[in-house]
Amino acid sequence: MKEALIIFMLCCILHIASAQLKVGFYKSTCPQAESIVRGVVQQRFKTDRSITAALLRMHFHDCFVRGCDASILIDTTRSKSSEKDAGPNLTVRGYDLIDAAKKAVEAACPSTVSCADIITLATRDSVVLAGGQSYNAPTGRRDGLVSDVNDAFDLPGPDLSVSDTFQFFRSKGMTLNDMVTLLGAHTVGVAHCGFFQDRLSNFQGTGRPDGTMDPRLAASLLKICGTQSRPLNRDPSVFLDQGTSFAFDNQFYNQTLFRRGIMQIDQELALDRSTAPIVRGFAANGNAFKKSFANAMIKLGNVEVLVGKAGEIRKNCRVFNPKPKVVRRGL
C-alpha cells in the first residue's frame, strides 16, 4: 500500500511538472532557439554519426540523477566534485556539442534558453538524423543548482536483472514498456569491454562464458576484449548493435532474439517473461518501436524538471551562475 502511494505521488509530480512544460515554450522569447540547436547537431552529425548515442546517454544519465536539470554538465572544481566525475559518467561525451549550441543560442537570446532544454532538443534532433521518428519536445526546463558526484553512483548498471533495473525506472514514474523502449537506444550505442567482459569467459564466477550469448558472438568479442581488465581510457569498445550500428532501427531487438545481446541486461530483456513479449513486438514492428521511443523520450524529458522560478538559466552550461552580491546598507 505504501509503495503504491509513493508511485502515485511520483506520477502526480511528473504530471504537474509536465503540465508546465510546453511545445514552443520559446516561441516569443527566442523563436530561433530550436533551429539553432538543430543546426549545430546537423553539422556534428555529418562528421560523427556516433553523436546520437552520446547524446542519448548524456540525456539519460542527467534525467536519472536529479531529474532533467543539466546537472551532468557542471565541471568539477577544486572544492566540489560534480556528477561528471562519477564512475558511470566517465564515458559520457558530447559536452562540446552542448557548449557550441549554448554559445550560439546565447548570441541570439542571452540568458533565455536553459542548458537542460538544449540537451533535450539536441538529443531529439540527433535521433531523427539517425532515422528515428520526429517528435515535439516540450520545453521550459530550468537548470539545476546542485551537481554532486555522489548522486550519480546510483545509476542502473548493465549487469542487473530486469526486475532490479525496472525498480530504477519505476521510481521515475516510468512503465515496463518505457524501460524496454528506452533501452532500445542501444541500437546506436557502444560499450566498453569492461561492462560485459565477464560474460565472455567467467560469467558470475563460473569460469565459463554466459550460456545465453551466441557462442560465435562471444568468440568474436573475446578476440577484441581478451580476459584482462584495462583502464577505461585503454579499454576497447564495441557496437551494441552489431548489424546496423549507426541506424536508429529495431535491429537491437532482433539480435537479442538470437542471443546476440552484448550486455547482460540487453539479453535479459528477451529472456525475462515480463519483457520478452515487448521485445518480440518491437522486433516485428520497427515503426511501433520508433513511435514508442518518441513517446518514452517525451516522458523521460519530464522527469523531475525544474520550472517557473526554480533553478536558473545558466550563461555557461559548465558552471553555475555567479551568486548576486548582497549589498548591505547602513541605517
State the binding site for Ca(2+): 62, 65, 67, 69, 71, 83, 187, 241, 244, 249
Whose CA is closest to 240, among 184, 194, 280?
184
The helix/strand/coil state of 128 is helix
The one-letter code for the residue type at 146 is V
Listed residue (170, 156, 177) closest to 265, CA to CA? 156
For the annotated binding site for heme b, the residues are: 186
| Chain-centroid distance, C-alpha 19 | 22
Provide the b/e sequence for 117-136 (b: ≥16 CB within 10 Å): bbbbbbbbbbbbbbbbbebe
**Which amino acid is it at 235?**
D
Annotation: binding site: 62, 65, 67, 69, 71, 83, 156, 186-187, 241, 244, 249
Q: Which residues are annotated as a binding site for substrate?
A: 156
Cα distance between residue 65 and residue 71, in whole Å: 8
Catalytic residue check, 61: yes
* Rounded-to-integer distance, Cα 203 and Cα 183, Å: 22
CA–CA distances in Å: residue 52 to residues 231, 286, 296: 25, 18, 16
Closest CA to 141 of 320, 15, 311, 11: 311
Task: Look at phi and psi of residue 288 and say left if phi exceeds 0, alpha if psi is from -120 to 50, else beta.
Answer: alpha
For residue 287, give the amino acid letter. Answer: N
Cell (9 digits) for 279: 521485445
DSSP 273: T
Quickly tell me which residue has 551568486 as its cell. 323
Q: Cα–Cα distance between 123 and 140 in angstroms, integer?
A: 16
CA pseudo-torsion sign 77, 82, 85, 90: negative
Residues noted as catalytic: 61
